[in-house]
Amino acid sequence: MTPPVSPPGPTAPTRVRPLWVALGFVLCGLGFLGLLLPGFPGTVWFVLAAGAFAKGDPRWEAWLLARPVVGQLVGDYRAGRGMPLRAKWVACSCIALAVGFSVGRLPVLAAQVAWVLLGAAGIGFVALRVPTRRGR
């Protein structure tokens, strides 16, 4: 005798699903800001929003993936296609500029060193671990 199969659904318990959906909307808002503001990444927020929506309500995840630009960005990430070379250059340059402009505002040398190392780790991750998609 085989056990009954439950229909697929979110993995989060029912009581926390609204929190996942709310988090998804906050992350979507940051993603849309990233599409509008130069130097502020948008894709990472949309990827995180899609993950939050997947745990909260698959209908919102489907809505997000149906958006023309956003759905393609998240789909490319999920398929492991990576980032276009130009986008990697922009991302790494933005990290370097942000760290360079802000490191002097930290009053403690240890915090400055940690900030530079964190920025270097971000650049290293984007440059070496994120696949490069040629073209487009």
pLDDT tops 50 at residue 8: no
What is the residue whose two structure tokens read 């040398």? 109
Which of 27-41, 58-72, 74-88 has the highest mean predicted lDDT (pLDDT)? Answer: 58-72
**Identity at 113, one-letter amino acid code:** V
Of the listed ranges 6-10, 61-65, 110-114, the least confidently predicted one is 6-10
pLDDT confidence band for 82 (50 / 70 / 90): confident
pTM, 2 dp? 0.65
How many angstroms separate the Cα of 115 from the Cα of each of 9, 42, 99?
A: 40, 22, 7
What is the residue whose two structure tokens read 């340059």? 93
CA 57, CA 72: separation in Å to the nearest integer? 20
Q: What is the three-class DSSP state of 8?
A: coil
